[in-house]
Amino acid sequence: MRRPFFTHSARRTMAATAAMAGTLLLAGCGSSDPTLYSLAPVASTQPAVTASQVPAVIEVRTPGVPSSLDRQTIVGVQDDYSVTPLAGAAWSESLALMLGHVLSTDLQQRLPGRTVFAQNDATTVPAEGAVEVEITRFARDSAGLVHLAGSLSVHRVGDADHGLSVPLDLSASPTGTGTRAMVAALSQLTGQVADMAAERLQALPAAPAAHHS
């Protein structure tokens, strides 16, 4: 069988058509980039803490987040036996780092006159108090309720034995069914953790008196 004959012009046209198809295919792949979401600080509904025994400089340690949650793709539903990511939705940064920064901003609003920073922030001021959070649940359940669960502890630096710890089991009903509504509800729950941290920092035992030789 004789092979079809194409002129030089026809071959150039076919090559250009193939290149254009490849470009369109790549463009189609690029259109699947996920929408990025971020937690946001929220104002407290409680009076600001002004007690003198609250440490003057507070470090919010990077929260502990399990690898099943600390992924770029947002976990939409977290039940007892399954974790379901949201297609096309991702966190704008590591969830653990983002939680630490938002929690420190929330706590700074609740502790006027104190200095609050997230772990690894550039600062030369030594911390006097520490806030530590462990997260075990940070998503919706199958019924649509949003949950934040884990534990919270606060202590003076160098005196962890006299710190205060409390389990976290918070929930909220989002204002809608979309991802934005879920992230807004998670931000509200993170603000509640900051409220609890501020209360417990106020309740810490007084710092031991310095001994002079």
Phi, psi of 115 (to 5 degrees): -105, 125
Average pLDDT over residues 118-131: 90
CATH superfamily of 52-203: ABC-type transport auxiliary lipoprotein component (3.40.50.10610)
Q: Are 133 and 99 in contact (CB under 8 A)?
A: yes
Interatomic CA distance for residues 54 and 21, integer angstroms: 64
Amino acid identity of residue 198, one-letter, is A
Q: Please name the residues in contact with 70: beta carbons below 8 A apart, sequence gap of 6 or more.
A: 94, 95, 96
Helices 95-110 and 179-202: angle between axes, nearest 10 degrees: 50
Taking the complete model, does pTM exceed 0.75, yes or no? Answer: yes
pLDDT at 48 over 70: yes
Interatomic CA distance for residues 129 and 123, integer angstroms: 15
Average pLDDT over residues 122-140: 93
Split at pLDDT 50, 70, 90, the class of 7 is: low
pLDDT at 29 over 60: no
Split at pLDDT 50, 70, 90, the class of 8 is: low
CA-to-CA separations, 197 to 13, 58, 118, 130, 188, in angstroms, rounded: 68, 11, 14, 10, 14
